[in-house]
Structure 1
Amino acid sequence: MTIKVSHSIKPDPTAAATEISSSFSGLTPVVVLFFASSQYDPESISKTMKEKFPTATVIGCSTAGELVSGSMLKNSVVAMALESDAISGIEADVIDLSDRKAPSRAIISLADKFGLKPLELNPDKYVGIILIDGLSCAEEGLMEKIGDLVDIPVIGGSAGDDLAFKKTYVYLDGKVYNNAAVLALIKPASRFELLKTQSFCETGKKLTPTSVDEANRKVIEFNGLPAVSAYAKAIDANETDVASYFMTHPVGLIADGEPFVRSPQRVDGSSIYFYCQIKEGVDLQVLESTDIIADTTADIQKIQEKNGPIKGLINFNCILRTLQLYQDGKNDAYGSIFKDIPMVGFSTYGEEYIGHINQTATMLVFL
């Protein structure tokens, strides 16, 4: 299986794309996946990456940090080239997030190119990769629509802009899109697995949203109390200090014993904004952070013990995990987990795995 990764820290888009294409010399990729810091002009980096790989499907997005085998990077471009012995088929399309019918049209069209109807796609043979405008606040609705249309797993992340929170971009075949998502339907040539890994344990404290502005990802009340008051009580903190606990004590929807993390973003009076939607009346557990390095290492080892060496890995890693790793001085240790694996990824503004989640790494693993 031919999967190769590369990166460039050259600040000029053409120079960066040239360095990456040189490292892929001799390959004929059917797919090139790239993630680029927002320091790169979006039009230039998308155009030049496609020019360097004219026969490949070229997919990418802007980031809040990049990942490549052995390293966590900033202000770089990382890329993965996959040949036909890794990917036997790929079709990709752009979904306009302002068009309610666009997801259905895109999925019907993509499935049709494989000669199938959407629900005929075998989840053991097909997988979706999705990259979404990270400032659109449209991830939940889009993932729900996709889930209604297909049974295959869809994994991905929300594009970033290095914490500027001004504009994020998704890329497909040399073009640039805002308020949009790029959906790629892929048929891997061999086995694959999805991994969702987060580093939290339950505290036993329950918060039930009793008043919610769902569209704006804002919780007004938990347990019938102002959100800030209820959250402070649950973590045994002063109300004035709650924001300092957000990274280490998010909340989670527990399904089959697994937390699906919803991370608080900021305080607004007595309310709390989150990085993803909270549904009224759905019980949440207060979570407490554990060791990202130990947890991720264990999860990767489990896959390898079960399947043998990993042939390639795409890593959608939450920006909040990235910030915590740098804060704790563990960024090099995190990169080292993947030093012997062909891996690329980026720091996201949210992760996609069944739905939209936070403070998680979602990974597509080629075996």
Structure 2
Amino acid sequence: MNTAEKPYFNKLGPAVSYGGSAKKNAVDAATELHQCLAMARPACVIFFCCVDYDRAQLSDTLAELFGDVPVLGCTTAGEISPLGLPPGSITGFCLSAEHFVVETALLQNLATFSERGAYDTVKEMMQRMENRALAPMAYNSFALSLLDGMSIREELVLSALNEALTGIPLVGGSAGDNLHFRDTHVYYDKQFFSNAAVIILINTTCPFSVLSGHHLVADGEKMVVTKADPAKRIAHELNAEPAALEYCRVMGISLDELNSVSYALHPLSVQVGENSFARSIQQVNDDLSLTFFCAIDTGIVLTKMRDGGLVAEFEDRMEDVVAEIGEPQLVIGYDCIHRRMEAEGKGVYEELSALYQRYKVVGFNTYGEHCDAMHVNHTFTGVVIGEADAFTA
């Protein structure tokens, strides 16, 4: 049996277990995942899977194996696992009821999303959590979000959720489908859903730290979005020129070079105060407009960015977190698909993979990263969970 066929896992005390499978058959993969994650008192299981799995088989097998344990998840544009960055796999983690209390909710039909409904849903989750919390809610809780990555509703949903959470950090990612852009799903209550969002509220006795950032540095030249369709995230014109042509001019590439790799290697950002937030291009359209993964609108100024050291920047951030809360039991990671493609294109893929293994990152490559009310791109966003604190239940 070669390494890719073996189940992989690492159990780190009673608080967290994680693992997964690189098997291609959905039943076999779910079975290996269960073997890796099984613990005496699970609070919940969260998984991330390749879109190529037979979803019906995967769903049925997970439901059978995990029974009444809440299982949440989504499809991906790539998985981050204890083996690093293996393609075509399933990975996940289990949180112990000894150290975590979990409340979950599903927001369906995002096309007719109600901000008031989402607000009320989160408030109800928080009220239920108050009665079960293991530690004070305000300082010992965080929320995770998983959204259909083709819904084009992230900004609206995240704004409503963030308002309802009143200071509790929100971290998450938009589900992917290996850059097919047609088939993204979230998983809740033993079935897959499209056009939906999963919200997970977690209270814990473990120390944790939220991190969100990118490695990009401004490279000077700017472009103004002079014509856009915000509802569809399409920029028709940049600097009053067809968007694709102007993007190519600024980046020094030809039109026939435009593809997902070139977008990853030639990033853009918007400046908000002293902070820059990446805006990734999803695809070029027949009319030479550009569709983005994140919000775009007329008047937005886009800045050309360059690589400031993808691997080094992540390592520096993790060293700061370790100094704050100690070595992680687990890092729940939401990593933009363009970072993975950039790592491949620049020859640092194996180095990044090894770094994620070192820091116990389990997560997925997204169509957008969530941090509080922000929906961003080309960013690593996550929650670092440290060893269980002294005031365990």
Aligned to 1:307: 325
Letter in 2 for 1:3: V
Q: Identity, % of aligned pairs?
A: 27
Give the TM-score normalised by the residue count of structure 1: 0.90
CA separation of 1:270/1:78 partners in 2, compared to 1, >3 Å: closer, same or farther?
A: closer
TM-aligned CA deviation for residue 184 of structure 1? 0.8
Aligned to 1:276: 294
Kept in 1, the 8 Å contact 2:208–2:383? The answer is yes
CA separation of 1:38/1:226 partners in 2, compared to 1, >3 Å: closer, same or farther?
A: closer
Aligned to 2:47: 34
**Within the alignment, does 1:95 sit opposite 2:114 as a pair?**
no
TM-aligned CA deviation for residue 301 of structure 1? 1.5
TM-aligned CA deviation for residue 276 of structure 1? 1.4
3-state SS in 2 of match to 1:71: coil
Aligned to 2:265: 248
TM-aligned CA deviation for residue 138 of structure 1? 1.5
The unaligned stretches of length 5 or more in structure 1 are none
Kept in 2, the 8 Å contact 1:4–1:342? The answer is no
Give the TM-score normalised by the residue count of structure 2: 0.84
Kept in 2, the 8 Å contact 1:231–1:242? The answer is no
Mapped to 2, the partners of 1:26 and 1:263 lie a distance apart of: 39
CA separation of 1:223/1:328 partners in 2, compared to 1, >3 Å: closer, same or farther?
A: closer
Mapped to 1, the partners of 2:74 and 2:41 lie a distance apart of: 22
CA separation of 1:23/1:148 partners in 2, compared to 1, >3 Å: closer, same or farther?
A: closer
Mapped to 2, the partners of 1:312 and 1:256 lie a distance apart of: 32
Mapped to 2, the partners of 1:223 and 1:86 lie a distance apart of: 53
Cα distance per residue 1:22-72 (max 9 Å; x no partner)? 233444221111111112122322332233222422111111211112411
CA separation of 1:339/1:133 partners in 2, compared to 1, >3 Å: closer, same or farther?
A: same
Aligned to 1:219: 235
Q: 2:380 aligns with which of 356, 361, 366?
A: 361
Kept in 1, the 8 Å contact 2:332–2:362? The answer is yes
3-state SS in 2 of match to 1:359: coil
3-state SS in 1 of match to 2:158: helix
TM-aligned CA deviation for residue 140 of structure 1? 1.7
TM-aligned CA deviation for residue 98 of structure 1? 2.7
3-state SS in 2 of match to 1:56: coil
CA separation of 1:15/1:247 partners in 2, compared to 1, >3 Å: closer, same or farther?
A: closer
How many residue pairs end up in the alignment?
362
CA separation of 1:70/1:300 partners in 2, compared to 1, >3 Å: closer, same or farther?
A: farther
Letter in 1 for 2:284: V
Kept in 1, the 8 Å contact 2:103–2:202? The answer is yes
Kept in 2, the 8 Å contact 1:47–1:173? The answer is no
TM-aligned CA deviation for residue 329 of structure 1? 3.7
Aligned to 2:307: 289
Which runs of structure 2 are paired with 1:74-153 in the superposition (5 Å)?
74-87=87-100, 89-96=101-108, 97-101=110-114, 102-115=117-130, 123-151=138-166, 152-153=168-169
Which stretch shows the higher mean deviation, 169-178 or 279-288?
279-288
CA separation of 1:113/1:245 partners in 2, compared to 1, >3 Å: closer, same or farther?
A: same
TM-aligned CA deviation for residue 220 of structure 1? 2.2
Mapped to 1, the partners of 2:368 and 2:202 lie a distance apart of: 21
Aligned to 2:173: 157
Task: State the Cα RMSD in Å.
Answer: 2.4
**Within the alignment, does 1:257 sit opposite 2:274 as a pair?**
yes
CA separation of 1:336/1:252 partners in 2, compared to 1, >3 Å: closer, same or farther?
A: same
3-state SS in 2 of match to 1:72: coil
Aligned to 1:72: 85
Mapped to 1, the partners of 2:85 and 2:254 lie a distance apart of: 35
TM-aligned CA deviation for residue 222 of structure 1? 3.0
Q: 1:335 aligns with which of 353, 357, 370?
A: 353
CA separation of 1:154/1:222 partners in 2, compared to 1, >3 Å: closer, same or farther?
A: same
3-state SS in 2 of match to 1:167: coil
Which stretch shows the higher mean deviation, 73-82 or 190-199?
190-199
CA separation of 1:187/1:247 partners in 2, compared to 1, >3 Å: closer, same or farther?
A: same
Mapped to 2, the partners of 1:297 and 1:66 lie a distance apart of: 19
CA separation of 1:309/1:115 partners in 2, compared to 1, >3 Å: closer, same or farther?
A: closer
CA separation of 1:331/1:27 partners in 2, compared to 1, >3 Å: closer, same or farther?
A: farther
Mapped to 1, the partners of 2:51 and 2:251 lie a distance apart of: 36
Mapped to 2, the partners of 1:270 and 1:15 lie a distance apart of: 44
Letter in 1 for 2:338: L
